[in-house]
């Protein structure tokens, strides 16, 4: 009997703790985790605020949670963060003149590489088609006409 009471008390305690931690509604939960994965923790700069143990990351997670519960959209939440911490908080920086080099730089390098490659290949082809002098031609002919050993 006392065992059953104990279990019941434990169960009630657990549900209380869960309720107090302000668990998110299921429809918010997915957005919550995807937002956390998009936001950088500024204290430990190579972690998202989902991964980071820093105090600030915890505060920002709480802030995201509160805003979700208040009915904010994803873009409102990221805008809130950008207004305070700058584009650096975003793992995917927005495309704008300042970030053009970042976004399109690799493409530019690819184009440069392709152009260089084409030029080199063409040069080689042209070099290969240079006509032989008479002496050289005679030498080639003599080698080619040599019977196989």
Partner 1 sequence: MSKYLLPVILFFILTSFLFVGLYRDPTEVSSPLLGKPVPQFSLPRLADSEAMFSEDEFLGKVSLLNVWASWCVACREEHPVLTELAHRHEVILYGLNYKDDTADARQYLVEHGNPFLASAVDASGRIGIEWGVYGVPETFVIDKNGIIRYKHIGVITWRDAEEKLLPLIGQLQNETS
Q: Is residue 39 close enough to count as binding partner 1 by CB under 8 A? A: no
97 to 136, contacts with partner 1 by CB under 8 A? Answer: none
Closer to partner 1 by Cβ: residue 114 or 138: 114
Q: Is residue 42 close enough to count as binding partner 1 by CB under 8 A? A: yes
Q: Which distant-in-sequence residues (6+ apart) come within 8 Å of 63 by Cβ?
A: 80
Q: Tokens 């956390």 label which residue?
A: 36
The CA distance from 106 to 119, in Å, is: 20
The CA distance from 68 to 32, in Å, is: 7
Binding residue (CB under 8 A) for partner 1 from 2, 20, 83, 142: 83
Closer to partner 1 by Cβ: residue 32 or 57: 57
Cα 115 vs. chain centroid, distance in angstroms?
28
Length of the chain: 149
Binding residue (CB under 8 A) for partner 1 from 63, 72, 90, 93: 63
Q: Is residue 60 close enough to count as binding partner 1 by CB under 8 A? A: yes
Q: Is residue 75 close enough to count as binding partner 1 by CB under 8 A? A: no
Give the 3-state secondary structure of residue 145.
coil
Q: Strands (DSSP E) along 44-134, which ranges?
A: none
Q: Which residues bind partner 1 (CB under 8 A)?
A: 42-43, 45, 55-56, 59-60, 63, 82-88
């Amino acid at each position: 009997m006392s065992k059953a009471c104990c279990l019941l008390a434990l169960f009630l305690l657990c549900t209380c703790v869960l309720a107090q931690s302000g668990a998110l509604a299921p429809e918010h939960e997915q957005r919550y985790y995807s937002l956390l994965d998009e936001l950088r923790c500024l204290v430990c700069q190579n972690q998202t605020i989902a991964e980071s143990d820093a105090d600030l990351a915890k505060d920002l997670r709480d802030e995201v949670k509160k805003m979700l519960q208040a009915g904010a959209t994803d873009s409102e939440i990221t805008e809130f963060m950008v207004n305070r911490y700058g584009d650096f908080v975003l793992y995917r920086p927005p495309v704008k003149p300042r970030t053009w080099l970042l976004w399109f730089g690799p493409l530019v390098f690819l184009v440069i590489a392709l152009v260089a490659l084409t030029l080199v290949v063409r040069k080689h082809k042209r070099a290969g088609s240079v006509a032989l002098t008479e002496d050289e031609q005679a030498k080639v002919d003599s080698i080619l006409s040599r019977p196989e050993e």
